[in-house]
A and B are shown apart, each in its own frame.
Chain A
Amino acid sequence: GQQLNQSPQSMFIQEGEDVSMNCTSSSIFNTWLWYKQEPGEGPVLLIALYKAGELTSNGRLTAQFGITRKDSFLNISASIPSDVGIYFCAGHRRTSGTYKYIFGTGTRLKVLA
């Protein structure tokens, strides 16, 4: 199925460092969502973005909805070991009369203490 381009695929960082990841698409979306998934769990919603240019924070997380509506980024500041997991972006739009979410391929984050 269709997936968004998400980068980087994986990151190994030191505790305390900042992290940045992004998603790009050839299509316009009305909503961007960012999720975190830990082993053995379902994805957990981190941030939802609904307007082009919107910048939203949730604690140490900040995400932005790109002006072109074709991209989004997620930043994590001052990473800690519990930030480990896989981060997915998802774009949402109406397609052929139905609403669909298209997911990124995921960014695997490992934090070294």
Chain B
Amino acid sequence: GAGVSQSPSNKVTEKGKDVELRCDPISGHTALYWYRQSLGQGLEFLIYFQGNSAPDKSGLPSDRFSAERTGGSVSTLTIQRTQQEDSAVYLCASSLSRGGQETQYFGPGTRLLVL
């Protein structure tokens, strides 16, 4: 597709269950970011993938959160043993650097509700 896509668009789960969120970046974009946005708040950085380099995981809030990026394209964010405070919108973005000019494009997000 032309833009970043994410699935599912909405997810309702019970506390303690695991969830997987998927991101398909724009084709050819080498960098991929995951963010979390709580209701009415700004964006909180979670993790960053760039090409084949080791990901920057410095924003992951706990060891229940993990992410993979397979083949330099699709990424999956996994939250284990979900808690109610994990409820938020999870946004994925991809970017391509051209001549030092970096531009980041967002997907529509996955709205996660933990009951």
Contact = CB atoms under 8 A, between A and B. Distances in A.
A101 B104 contact: yes
Contact of B103 (A42, A45, A98): A45
A90 interface: yes
Contacts of B44: 1
Contacts of B102: 30-31, 92, 99
Interface residues of B, number: 26
Interface of A: 1, 3, 30-31, 33, 35, 40-45, 48, 50, 88, 90, 92, 98-106
A98 B56 CA distance: 7
A interface majority secondary structure? strand
29 contacts: A33-B103, A33-B104, A41-B109, A42-B4, A42-B91, A42-B106, A42-B107, A42-B108, A43-B43, A43-B106, A44-B106, A45-B103, A45-B106, A48-B101, A50-B101, A88-B42, A92-B102, A92-B104, A98-B50, A99-B97, A100-B45, A100-B56, A101-B33, A101-B104, A102-B45, A103-B42, A103-B43, A105-B41, A106-B41
